[in-house]
Structure 1
Amino acid sequence: MDMERASERPIIAATRGTKRRGPRLSRADRTPLGLWFWEIDRVLLLLVSMLIAIGLVAVAAASPVAAQKLSTTTASLDPLYYFYRQLMWVIVGVPVMLAISMLPKPQARRFAIYGTLTCLALLFLVPLIGTSVNGAQRWIGSGAFRFQPSEFLKPFFAVSLAWVLSLRLHDQSLPVVPLSFVLTGVIAVLLMGQPDLGQTVIFGATWFVLVLVAGLSMRIMAGLGVAGLVGIVLAYFFYPVAQQRINIWLFESGDSYQVDKAHATLTAGGLIGTGPGAGLAKFQLPEAHTDYIFSVIGEEFGIIACVAIAILYLAIIVRVLVRLLDEEDSFLILAVTALIAQFGGQAIINMAVNTQLFPSKGMTLPFISYGGSSFIALSIGMGLLLSLTRRNPYAARVSMTRNWNKK
């Protein structure tokens, strides 16, 4: 009897453990949802979710500033007006990101190519039917239905350009580099006409990173570097927007009100901040909920919080690059590199502007700044990134086993 009871104990314990765990996705689940759950980079998804949560808190802190300024020209607004709108964009954008992340890699690439063609056509229409806001004609539509084509073009452009350049690795005779240069140049001309210097820099940097990773010779890369310097000099003398911002940044001449107020707000809270909602310097800050939200975070949550956010962005970049270490597909390497370069570059530029390291460019902080077009476009880009970095854990394990057996 004692032996029979002893043999039953492991079965009872196992049964109890199963009941406590409850229903869960099994590794043997071959449904689309099951495959997505086990193939997705869950660490990357967690890091992005943390950014989105921080963004909601930051917009809630900056919303009273923007609402107060808008109330001077319209009816009185709820202090959390922009927070509620940002929450709405999160509710829309997160499902978009997850849906795109479920796309197989060939479908994600096809989706990006079609998106590039559509957004490029809309970018051509901006000078004709675009809406002007604060002296810049960058949007199509009005009110709640207004959107910025260049924001949506960024992630699509990164993946499409990666596909074009990956063709060169299969056939060296294809003139894909000159073709990509012309395409980027056309986009840059359209953006500078809006004017939108910040987006122009992002598109140009994305192209440069891609041709660098694609393996061009050092002679060509040196020529591109010289051409870039010449372009900056020409922009200074013939593009008033660039001249104004470079003068403020390097020579401290001109109207530096925005960057001065941003720096003052950023440092007003010291190391630990004044506390949520207790900031006063933010009410002197223009565009507190968009371009300069990093300064609002510095005032109310402290420099420590700003450093933590910078580390979070760095963790996302490193996580993606580590994910590429064992990748052999040239298109995937280029596409993922372009997407993370865009994401990280935009974050670095925004934080550098707030700390007076870069001239003002009017660029949002990814997933933290307020903005419908910005948030949805970033959700599309992160969805593509999550889709292209999906890995089958069983395939990797089988590959390692085969390599070990060969030895």
Structure 2
Amino acid sequence: MIKKWLSSTIDNSGLVIFRILLGLLIMAEGFGAILLGWVEAVFVKSKFTFNFIGFDFLQFLHGEKMYSYFFVMGILGLLIALGLFYRFAMIVFTIMWTAVYLIQKESYNNHYYFLILISIIMVFLPANGKLSIDAKLFPKIKQTKIPRWMPYLLIFQLAILYFYAAIAKLYPDWLDGTFSKILLNGITQRQFLLEIFNQKWFLLFYAYAGILFDLLIMPALLWKKTRKLAIIASFGFHLFNAYSLKIGIFPFLALSFIVLLYDSIPLKFLKNEQEILTNKNFNAKLFVVFFVPFFIVQIILPLRHHFIKGDVLFTEEGHRLAWRMMLRERKGILSIKIVDKNTGVIRYHNFASELTPKQIKILSNSPDFIWQYCQKLKKEAKKPISIFVECSVSINRRPYYKLIDEKTDMATAKFDYFGHNDWILLQDLN
């Protein structure tokens, strides 16, 4: 029954419009990063970036050339929207955006990761079947129908995000409104709003509304009887986040998914072409071979922190790639002691002299940043050294707890990306 429903053909207008919206948002992301100073702050004013561990070879993506890099991505967004050389533009953008994501963690955002996943899926979908320059130049690719399961690949990816975002909120500081208060008080200085935001009833409403929205929005959008109400709720939720949290294109990207929910789009200009069925020559086995493992990984990755010793809220181990969005506030105090192995001379390293304010803030409370920076210091040292770190972290304005084992020589410490690192201390936050 479900297999038959998914394999049935539907009008491809939703996927086509989604392609156009996605292209415009990619264009806005590329050009906006330049115009709003993001490229300058992250890649030009910094001496280096903190890449994902193992991707040091991407450090060449730095400096003023990144203006051109993001300009090219903006152009690729335009090509995607126009449907001109769509497949090529989608592949190149996916590679370029993934590289941007991997080269810098100081501006880490789950939504950047989400855009990678959506772009990967879009590479495989015939989203240029109509309303595209490609369809004009190459009539053989024209089509008005696609299998229903194609847009549902995208919908399923969004559902994974929402589901894990809801589950991640099920911890004490979210459930009692503690973090809601921290978050809301940080987005405005207007007194009348602060008076509302500090009311206990409002903090609890905000906290539980966030959980319910993430948990129920996809079923509500998929069910026709609740779809209109869910669309209204989506606009309210995402536009509020776009205004208050300043999280880039994601709110608008999430709203773009609404067009994928309709089997047909009631717009006359999309109906003026002769009906052309989907290309029967596509390799269904290829989709199965690629997308089954793809989604298995997407389902497993957010669970990994449950199998790593310690509280992810404190250790950060398993935090990334798990849709743990806007969940906590971290503040850290850090000092780095360097010991000359030959002479025994001790000095404290002034890391603030070579880092941007944002890098300093994140370095002071993030174990993987600290490990990476210590490896950098070891590599740059002209003589054998030991490195010892004193670091304490406050979570959601609790007292400070020690994060790093001060007796561990970080110059020789190893990093385990998928397991617990013994040099990260375990603390009970309750």
TM (normalized to structure 2)? Answer: 0.27
* Structure of greater relative contact order (alpha carbons < 8 Å, 6+ residues apart): 1
Which is richer in strand?
A: 2
TM (normalized to structure 1)? Answer: 0.28
Which is richer in helix?
A: 1
